[in-house]
Amino acid sequence: MALGFVAGWAVLALLYGPWFSWDIEMPLSREEFYENIRARLSWAPPAGVYGIVWTVLYLLIAISVGLFINDAANLPNNTKLWATFILICINIFTNKTWDLFFFEMRNIGVAALDAVLIFATAVSILVLFWVQGVNWFAIVSMFVYCLWTGFAMILTLAIARLGPSINSPILGSVNFDVNKL
């Protein structure tokens, strides 16, 4: 069991390590950018909520991946096993690229497509966990992750739907219009 947890953390470190900093200069900070959007979308949570939620989710994801890897030796179908692992990698990668598209490149249309992919892969992972009989805690953790990524997808699509009218002179040529993809 300890090997599964170590492997889960190793997978997350390898997939997330290179993506922590993008270093792209923008006229507004991330906080100002989000608050500018939030002023137009009243049901968007305060910026401070995200750090708390993602900290808990990353912990749950790491535990889930560890439990999955631990259970993998006893799973009968190698095809489903590899499909699950590939989907986990795609999900983690697209989760981090959403940050690049949304906050760094400020391309909300592409971030919206990325959010749909994040949610679709999360649901697929949940289904594969369920079908393969992975540990119940991993299944519940993925369910919680699916709820949050579903909300994040709806929020990103709503922001994209605001269109270019959210643009301000400070933001310049930020692409908020999903029709310009």
* pLDDT tens for each residue of 8-53: 656 555 555 544 444 444 456 778 888 888 888 889 999 889 889 9
Torsional class of 107: left (φ above 0), alpha (ψ -120 to 50), beta (otherwise) = beta
SS3 43: coil
Is there a contact between 41 and 159 (Cβ–Cβ < 8 Å)?
Answer: yes
Q: Is pLDDT at 174 greater than 70 in this prediction?
A: no
Radius of gyration (C-alpha) of the chain in whole angstroms: 18
Amino acid at 110: V
User: For residue 8, which of 115, 112, 84 has the smallest C-alpha distance?
Assistant: 84
Mean pLDDT of 82-92: 91
Q: What are the residues whose beta carbons fall under 8 Å from the beta carbon of 23, sequence distance 6 or more? A: none
Q: Is pLDDT at 120 greater than 50 in this prediction?
A: yes
pTM of structure: 0.76
Say which range, 13-17, 78-82, 93-97, 153-157, has the weakest mean pLDDT: 13-17
Banded model confidence at residue 147, pLDDT cuts 50, 70, 90: very high
